[in-house]
Structure 1
Amino acid sequence: MAELLNVKPTRMELLNLKRRIKLAKKGHKLLKDKQDALVMEFFTIYDEALQLREELGRKMAEAFSALQSAEIDVGTLRLREIGLSVKPNREVEIKRRNVMGVPVPLIEAESFRRSADERGYAFVSSSAKVDLAAGKFEEVLDLAVRLAEVEETLKRLAKEIEVTKRRVNALEYIIIPRMEATVKFIKQRLDEMERENFFRLKRVKALIEARTHAEGS
């Protein structure tokens, strides 16, 4: 074990290892606390993601139903013409923020909800059902952008949780036990060396006493 850690069985090395174990245990606790906090944050955001997915599903069903009504109302060809005349959507800006030290996306965008004039098509060529369908799909876009941000955050948190978990397990099951086993080995080796020195000194003393007694005779 000592050979695996490339250490010599000395008292200095023993002190160094004890300090390293103390630091490793402190690091293990910090990482474990971080892991627990990340897991709590993950499930909080996961609940939000589930709600957004359910709401997005409902909004999409409403939007396609409204689109079908608009198509019946003005006809497929006219609906396509109206769609082609719609102005481009507002730009979406993607920034970053930190969640428990993990960089995650922050999507900044104004609501996609617009009036008929803002959409760009002529009011007289449209109808209330077309406006309703357009509004429903704008709601879908708002939710889709928010869901994209939340789901990407979940992916990055899950990855960080996995990395942190591996580090915690490495410290808990490999690094710290290995260092503790090495400390035990060094202590045993030092005790053996001390006993060897004791017996060596005792033998030398006995030899000196025997020589002194022989010379005295």
Structure 2
Amino acid sequence: MESIKNLLIKTIIGGCKLDISFKKLKPTKTNLLKLEDRLGFIDKGKEFLEYKREQLIQEIKTMWRTYKEHRKNYFNILAKTMLKLNETYKEMGKRKVLLISKISEIQYKPKIEISYLKKMGIVVSQINYKLIEEEKLPPYSFENTSHHLEELRNLTAELFEKMILLAETEDVILKYGFNFKKINRRIQGIKNIIKPRLESDIKDIEKILEEVERENFIRLKQTKEIIKTN
């Protein structure tokens, strides 16, 4: 047996069509009970989606605070890195720094792997970054290098770490936001379209059944009177 959660996901989240009009159904007691059961099921689906939405709201608030902190750290390191780069240019000259950078491209190989994990039922990406050093000696191991160069190298490595953290957090927030809009749209669809339509269908079938019951009662009464007179 499937859990109520899975059934709700299939029917509500999965977008199953629940808008069958009573005009396509025979106005019978059985069909009325089916529609009433479906209405109760829709209410449970709406409650489940509202619970998911509330969870997302809390998670988005938490992630937003984390994002602001990561963003602040990233721009702080970026500013320090740019200042240190400018100091290195002044002491060594831009041409020499660019030459060291070119040599570094040969001696260091970046390795990036993207893995995926689930948070709140949403697939988010995780970036794994490594700088593989193929040569143990630093590329700038010759005379007249600036004392700022090693600091610049360390700051650049830290800058990459902060940038990756910021990118991962931003990705999570964007996906949470998209999922929030999707869930909210489904809740509004249930509230404004599916549920009112089902309630209207139930009301219409109830009226028809009441009318049929009245007619049957009148016919039965007339039949009894005819039998009495005979």
Aligned to 2:115: 95
Where 2:116 maps in the other structure, the secondary structure is strand
- Corresponding pairs, count: 208
Whole-angstrom distance in 2 between the partners of 1:118 and 1:56: 29
Once the two structures are superposed, what CA deviation does each residue of 1:96-126 show, in whole Å capped at 9, x if it has no partner? 111110001011234x6x99x7584132343
| Cα distance, 1:202–1:43 mapped onto 2, change above 3 Å | same
Q: Is contact 2:22-2:205 (8 Å) kept?
A: no
Q: Tell me which of 137, 148, 157 is aligned to 1:138.
A: 157
Q: Tell me which of 37, 56, 60 is aligned to 2:78.
A: 60
Amino acid at match of 1:101: G
Once the two structures are superposed, what CA deviation does each residue of 1:2-30 show, in whole Å capped at 9, x if it has no partner? 84663221100011111111211111111
More divergent stretch after superposition (33-42 vs 5-14): 5-14
Whole-angstrom distance in 1 between the partners of 2:212 and 2:25: 16
| Cα distance, 1:74–1:172 mapped onto 2, change above 3 Å | same
Could you tell me how far 1:71 is from its partner in structure 2?
Answer: 0.5
Q: Is contact 2:81-2:152 (8 Å) kept?
A: yes
Percent identity reads 25
Once the two structures are superposed, what CA deviation does each residue of 1:20-55 show, in whole Å capped at 9, x if it has no partner? 112111111111111111121122111111111111
TM-score scaled by structure 2? 0.82
Q: Tell me which of 128, 132, 150 is aligned to 1:108.
A: 128
TM-score scaled by structure 1? 0.87
Amino acid at match of 2:33: L
Aligned to 2:200: 181
Amino acid at match of 2:187: V
More divergent stretch after superposition (138-147 vs 176-185): 176-185
Whole-angstrom distance in 1 between the partners of 2:184 and 2:128: 32
Larger CA Rg, structure 1 vs 2: 1
| Cα distance, 1:183–1:22 mapped onto 2, change above 3 Å | same
Could you tell me how far 1:140 is from its partner in structure 2?
Answer: 1.1
**Are 1:28 and 2:69 counterparts?**
no
Gaps of 5+ in 1: 213-217
Whole-angstrom distance in 2 between the partners of 1:74 and 1:200: 108
Amino acid at match of 1:152: D
Q: Tell me which of 176, 183, 187 is aligned to 1:157.
A: 176
Amino acid at match of 2:26: K
Aligned to 2:28: 10
Aligned to 2:148: 129
Whole-angstrom distance in 2 between the partners of 1:194 and 1:119: 96
Whole-angstrom distance in 1 between the partners of 2:20 and 2:207: 11
| Cα distance, 1:147–1:195 mapped onto 2, change above 3 Å | same
More divergent stretch after superposition (140-149 vs 183-192): 183-192
Q: Is contact 1:2-1:186 (8 Å) kept?
A: no
Once the two structures are superposed, what CA deviation does each residue of 1:134-182 show, in whole Å capped at 9, x if it has no partner? 2222211111111111111111111111111111111122212221222
Whole-angstrom distance in 2 between the partners of 1:184 and 1:88: 73
Could you tell me how far 1:74 is from its partner in structure 2?
Answer: 0.8
Once the two structures are superposed, what CA deviation does each residue of 1:76-107 show, in whole Å capped at 9, x if it has no partner? 11111111111334312111111110001011
Where 1:9 maps in the other structure, the secondary structure is coil
Q: Tell me which of 38, 45, 50 is aligned to 2:63.
A: 45
Could you tell me how far 1:208 is from its partner in structure 2?
Answer: 3.1
